[in-house]
Amino acid sequence: MSYKELPYAAAAVIVPTAVQNFIDAADRQYELFYANQLQKRYPKYVPSEPSQVYAALKYVTDKDLLVGNTFIEWGCGFGVATGLATFLGYQATGIEIEPDLVQIAYDLFLQENIEAQLICSSYIPDGIIEYENFGTTDIISDNFNRLSNTRPCYSEMSLQIEEIDLFFAYPWPGEQEMILKLFDALAGEGALLIAYFGDQDTHIYRKIDDSQIA
C-alpha cells in the first residue's frame, strides 16, 4: 500500500452562520488560552486557520471523494477540525494527549452542542514506535504482531483505524513526513488525509494500492 497526493488549491468558501459561531467560540478560547499564558505550558500548540480547514473538509465532501463519514483528527488541541467535521455530517473523533487541551475541547463542544468523541491519548497507537531523529520525529511501523494478526488500534474507539474514512492533522514541520508515514501505515485503502502544513498550505492524500501508482 501507498498514497498519492490529490489536486487541491485552497479557496475561500462561504461559511454558514452556525459554523462561524463555532469558529468564533473557538477564537474566544484561544484568547483566554493566551491571556492565561498557557502557551508557555504548551509551546508546541499552534492552532490552524479554521476557515481553511473547513474549506478543505467541504471540498472532499462536495467532491464525494469518500465512501463513508468517519473522521479522526490527530493531535486535536481544542478540537476545532473535529467540530467542523460534524457540521458536514461526519462521525468525528479528536485525539489529544494533553488533558488540559482535551478539557478545553470538551467545554467548547458542550457549549456549542457539538456531538463528537474526544480521546485523551497519543495519536501514535500501540504497535507503532515513535522516536526522535536529528530534530525530527519518525516512526517504526513494521512491528505489527503478525502472529496474532492484530494491528495498532485506539482502544477507546469502536472502529478499527483502517475503517476510518478521513484523517486530519496539523503537524509540526519536523513531523510532516512522520504524519505521512503514519497515514501510510494505518489507513485503509481509499482513505483520505487532509494535512494542514500552515497558512494556505493544505494538502490532500489518498491511500492506494501500490499497483495504482502511475
pLDDT at 190 over 90: yes
Please tell me the total count of domains within the chain. 1
pLDDT reported for residue 52: 96
What residues are paired with 75 via a beta bridge? none
Given a cut of 70, whether residue 212 has pLDDT beyond it is no
pLDDT tens, 112-141?
A: 999 999 999 999 887 776 655 545 555 666
pLDDT value for 128: 75
Q: What is the pLDDT of residue 150?
A: 63
The single residue listed with the C-alpha cell 486530519 is: 168
Specify the DSSP class assigned to residue 155: T
CATH of the domain at 106: 3.40.50.150
Question: Which three cell numbers, joined as nine digits, stand for 151?
Answer: 494491528
pLDDT of residue 174: 81
Higher pLDDT, 116 or 39: 116
Nearest Cα neighbor of 13 from 54, 47, 64 is 54
Mean pLDDT of the chain: 88
Range of the domain at 130: 2-212
pLDDT of residue 43: 76
